[in-house]
Amino acid sequence: MDTVEKIVEDFASDIAMSPFSSGTRLRDMIRAIRACKTAAEERAVVRRECAAIRTAISENEPELRHRNMAKLMFIHMLGYPTHFAQMECLKLIAAAGYPEKRVGYLGLMLLLDERQEVLMLVTNSLKQDLNHPNQFIVGLALCALGNICSAEMARDLSPEVERLMRSREVNTKKKAALCSIRIVRKVPDLAENFMALAASLLKEKHHGVLISAIQLCTELCKASKDALEYLRKNCIEGLVRILRDVSNSSYAPEYDVSGIADPFLHIRVLKLMRILGQGDADCSEYMNDILAQVATKTESNKNAGNAILYECVQTIMGIEATSGLRVLAINILGRFLSNRDNNIRYVALNMLMRAIAVDVLAVQRHRTTILECVKDADASIRKRALELVFLLVNDTNVKPLTKELIDYLSIADPDFKGDLTEKLCSIVEKFSQEKLWYLDQMIKVLSLAGNHVKDDVCHALIVVLSNGSELQGYSVRSLYKALQAYGKQGSLVRVAVWCIGEYGEMLVNNVGMLDGEEPVMVTESGAVDAVEIALNRHSADATTGAMCLVALLKLSSRFPSTSERVKQIVARNKENVVLELQQRSIEFSSIIQRHQSIRSSLLERMPVLDEASYLVKRATATQATISADKLAPTVAPGGLKLPNGVAKPTSAPLADLLDLSSDGAPASTTTSTTTPNGFLQDLLGIGGVSTGTTGVPSIASTDILMDLLSIGSSPSQNGTPGQETKPTHLVSQDMDLLDGLSSSTSVSGLEKTVHPSITAFQSATLKITFDFKRQPGNPRETTIHATFTNLTSSTYTDFIFQAAVPKFIQLKLDPASGNTVPANGNGSVTQGLNVTNNQQGQKPLAMRIRMSYKVNGEDRLEQGQVSNFPSGL
């Protein structure tokens, strides 16, 4: 008996704690769900409630239908499936009472969308409710139609919506206009049915109807050009009247926002005016007066007023406004820059960047205020203001702007110094009118933010120094003084050490003094001291350390009295943990000790670097980088939208396509297009696995600045820059790198070995031949000259050649001579390849090739395997 009573009590307790039945009120269900402490408990509550609702649906209990639908909507908002109750929405909509219809339409909008097939069944109910005498039921139908209307429903119910737009009821007209927006979006062909109705609604006095009508006009302009022209002819006058009335209206509590009369209507009218006036001089002229009135009368001390002014400025900039009106708009933005609100200043800076294209002189008047924004505490405003200043720089204001930015550079936040330094370097390089000013500004930037200066900027400075013989003495003295004061700035140290190594005698002897320049008292030992301090301070940086060692080696030749001291400094690094420094120390010690006779010729000053070719190469690299960034997100896996000669990094799908068998994935091919990080490698032609101009192969350096002062043959011997003598692996002990070379021995390259040509690929449409050249000094490296010949009568366009090799082979592709292959063999396209076989003599060369091109706009793709390479490669 006790057991039975306990079971009954537990059952009653369960019912009290979890009252799940079809008659449970919505608030009770919400309370039970909120009481759950875990997701599992919540799922159990929802599952039991859904089971109770299913039971009620199957038993067809109409008195509980609206309550169950309310609970289902809450369950749906929690993310649980409620598809089983979709038909209940239709039953509630078909009911006669307003409360049931209200819940039914709300459920329809929440639980269904236009893709549901069940939605077709509600069309008839919607049509009946759109013709209902009760305006509230009509409003429910219009609201539902405006939210979930499909194209078929739009065509069926469009006449009813047009009729309701002529209704006397304000709320009905407003909802009908909003519903029309959905209809026009779904079926743009119906736009012409609403043009006259939209124009007529602009004559209404109720602001809600006006906003709805303006929204409809805006959508019509986007949907149809005919509607745009119609509204330009029939609505401009009405819009001007609306804007004038709302601007001059007295206080109205129902529309007032912070003392501004209906700012929402203001903004909607201004947006529509911008659309209508864009590209139309007549409409724009009609708007000028009212826009000037809004711009001058609107208060700017309230957020609502600032919103109207910002929209007014956008409209003025978007239409064919007069120059005076544009100046007024830009002055408003200038006032925004003085606002304390960061959001207002940010949008003003954004708008000023767009306004530069319209009236740069008007924006220039606010240059001082914009410069102050560069120093703002907010990082977003600083960055946007810096971009705007960069756009404002020209030949007349470059010097004062640069001075302001450099002065701020010394106190700028570390996080902002990188962006500021990049923009400063770009400004100085782009607008420098004389080399002396360029050198002074770059030395200041290097001194204040040398750790943020990129390597390509240092390269550009070195190229200018190399070409400016009249300023080399001044430059080395300025860099020496900067090095003494700012020795912790990495880029400054590299450039200064390079100059001291090249022009050390000019520093000591004060050669090339400029007017007004104070001489610098530096001894030969002092020059060595400066480089030694830099070497000790930056010993952890392999690039700077290597450059310091090269500079010391050159100073030992420039100043023979310091030779012994230099030898000791260099010898200290023979056991350096940085392998590059250890290797150079061993090599340079050998040169100093055993090859006095050829040291002077090895360490002569570098020849003048070709500034014009460097500028072309840098511009090409920048353009290639920009093009790659633009193409990367849009190219499909099968698409080949790359500039000819620019190889895409090899990915797993390409490895599968080229099927390189057991040798692993193809090695990533490199291009001769110089990237920003490769500028200093290309300074002396020391690319990854390239061949120098003298024929002696150069090995990839560990850093882009590593071989800046590479050593090699004297320019007098072969007329070309010297190449650095550098072994391909670490030297473990002191050894004579130049054994067998006397003072008369040339360090120039040997003649290249030529191998017979082969036909690498031939089909009915395309023929490819390979010509080979190999240097005896490095039997692993082979230069291949590929020739592509078109065997058909149709010209090939957008021609791209790709190649992949096993992992033991290194491959470099040069740019092709063109991307159009003439028909019938009347001309050809050529491209260079550099191949290094790291297992030469053990494994032969192997290569998979793929060619893509277009014939009369149609994409073509061919591929094959080259296996007939000459033996020994």
pLDDT at 357: 86
Collect all residues with Cβ–Cβ distance below 8 Å to 741 and sequence separation of at least 6. 595, 598, 747
Residues 6 or more apart in contact with residue 166 via CB below 8 angstroms: 173, 197
d(CA 71, CA 49): 9
Residue 766, by phi and psi: left (phi above 0), alpha (psi -120 to 50) or beta?
beta
Token readout for 842 is 């053990």
pLDDT at 626: 53
Judge whether 460 and 493 are in contact, CB under 8 Å: no
Rounded to whole angstroms, the Cα distance separating 412 from 566 reads 39
The pLDDT value given to residue 385: 92
Strand partners, 821: 796
Q: Enter the DSSP assignment of 74.
A: H
Low-confidence ranges of the chain (pLDDT < 50): 1-22, 630-752
> How confident is the model over 308-344, as pLDDT tens digits?
999 999 999 999 888 899 999 999 999 999 988 999 9
In the prediction, which pLDDT does 469 show? 85
SS3 90: helix
pLDDT of 160 reads: 93
Q: What integer pLDDT is reported at residue 623 of this predicted model?
A: 60
| DSSP string across 585-648 | HHHHHHHHHH-HHHHHHHTPPPPPP-HHHHHHHHHHHHHHHHHHHHHTTT--TT-----TT-PP
Q: Which backbone phi and psi does 130 adopt, to 5 degrees?
A: -65, -20
Token pair 């109750």 is found at 85
Q: What is the pLDDT of residue 1?
A: 42
And the tokens for 348? 């003003």
Q: Which helix (H) or strand (E) holds 531?
A: helix 524-537
Cα separation of 158 and 96, whole Å? 24
What letter does residue 691 receive in the DSSP assignment? B
Predicted local distance difference test score (pLDDT) of residue 753: 54
Q: Are residues 20 and 48 in contact, defined by beta-carbon separation less than 8 angstroms?
A: yes
Contact (Cβ atoms closer than 8 angstroms) between residue 615 and residue 621: no
Paired sense of beta strands 809-813 and 670-671, if any: parallel
**Token duo for residue 31:** 């309370």
Helices marked H in 298-434 — which ranges? 303-318, 323-336, 342-355, 360-364, 367-374, 379-392, 398-409, 414-431
- Tell me if 406 sits within 8 A of 444, measured CB to CB: yes
In this prediction, residue 40 carries a pLDDT of 94
Quote the pLDDT of residue 627.
Answer: 52
pTM for this prediction: 0.63
**pLDDT on residue 500:** 93
Under DSSP, is residue 375 helix (H, G, I), strand (E, B) or coil? coil
**Rounded alpha-carbon distances, angstroms, from residue 728 to 580, 645, 700, 735:** 11, 28, 9, 14
For residue 7, what pLDDT is reported? 37
Within the chain, what is the greatest distance between any pair of CA atoms? 121
Give the tokens for residue 227: 């509607």
In this structure, what DSSP letter does residue 697 have? B
Residue 493 near residue 534, CB atoms below 8 Å: yes
pLDDT of residue 683: 37
Residue 650 pLDDT: 40
Q: Cα torsion at 198, 200, 206, 211 (round to 10°)?
A: 20
Residue 865 DSSP class:
E
CB < 8 Å & 24+ apart, contacts of 752-756: 752/695, 752/776, 752/783, 755/870, 755/873, 756/870
Domains of the chain plus CATH, in order, are 397-612 (1.25.10.10), 758-866 (2.60.40.1230)
Task: Yes or no: say if 560 and 547 are a contact pair by the CB < 8 Å rule.
Answer: no
**Distance of alpha carbon 38 from alpha carbon 58, whole angstroms:** 31
